[in-house]
Structure 1
Amino acid sequence: MKVNKTRRNVFAGLALAAILGTTGCSAINPQATTFEYAPSDGTQTTVSADDTANSDTVDFLNIGVITNDANDSGRVMGTIHNKSSKRQSVELKINNNKAFEFSLDANEQLMLEEEDLILESVGTEPGGLADGVATAFGNSIEFNVSVLPPTLEEYRELYPGDLDEREQSEHLYDFQGQYHRDE
């Protein structure tokens, strides 16, 4: 059976259009899976050295404060990772509270939850964003810091004060949506 040349060209064009139509998205849209991000409740920022040829950075990852009230004390959580090749002095300041200072070896990670860092008065209600300043290499960057309530179980143990666990979780079970049935 002899295939008409025009018909063959039409089918080839349709096949090419189908292939380009299904693969073209990645050519014009960046894929979400290629971005680095902190999949958590805290926020992140990176402080770089002045030298653009130098890739030395210090990452402030998953930075947050656990508190029950803006006027209450709060505990700082997160990780500071010195990705530089030298020892670095770093500083973290939240809402004009006393700055926390650390000295990190090259490629050292510091888990702030293990340091028992307490702010006397957080100054921001839970659910809000506090003003943060991260300093390394003599450079400072302002960023937002998540202020989280001790509602979730993993945050309750980080809360620095006395806590009524029932009060923190009771409201989670009060919701009676449109599909709720008493059994």
Structure 2
Amino acid sequence: MNERKMLLKQKLRINKQKSLRVELMKLLPPDMSVVIEKSELITSPELEKILEKVHEKWNFDLHKNDFALTYSDFRKEFSWEQEVMEYVQGCAIAEKKVYLFLGGIDDSPIFLVDGKWIVRNFSVLWNCINYDDIWIIGQDFSYGVLVSRYGGYVEHDPNPKEIMYAITKWGIKK
């Protein structure tokens, strides 16, 4: 009976992840919505395997206090949304399918979409999810841009809302 409950729970989660595509499509302008509608969708349990590989790349230190010091060559911190948008839109991501994970949406699936499309439409996409976490990861994990939102502030340029954004980037030219 326990196994059956677990299977049912997993199926419910997958259905929720699939339905989030429709919710995201409602938030986006029609031309962007079509891209999300046609994208391949990766759900649990494959989704967890992909996220695990990202965390593994960073020795499971991602989002921990010492991460910024240990991996300072791969991390930038910003106080303002506009700075993040400019930085991400300046990233040279290849024109091929990448993993797009919207961490700010509970039970978000992973969308398989064109990397250049994400960079080109980053500001609209990020605004639609209320400037929350958004990860762009190469399918071979050789490159990625992870945008994360934290409570706190950047000392030299504090945001009065006490929000800061951290970008972890690897394998991509700026």
TM-score relative to the length of structure 2: 0.25
Higher strand share: 1
Structure-1-length-normalised TM-score: 0.24
The structure number with the bigger radius of gyration is 1
By relative contact order (CA 8 Å, sep 6+), the higher-ranking structure is: 2
Q: Answer 1 or 2: which has greater helix percent.
A: 2
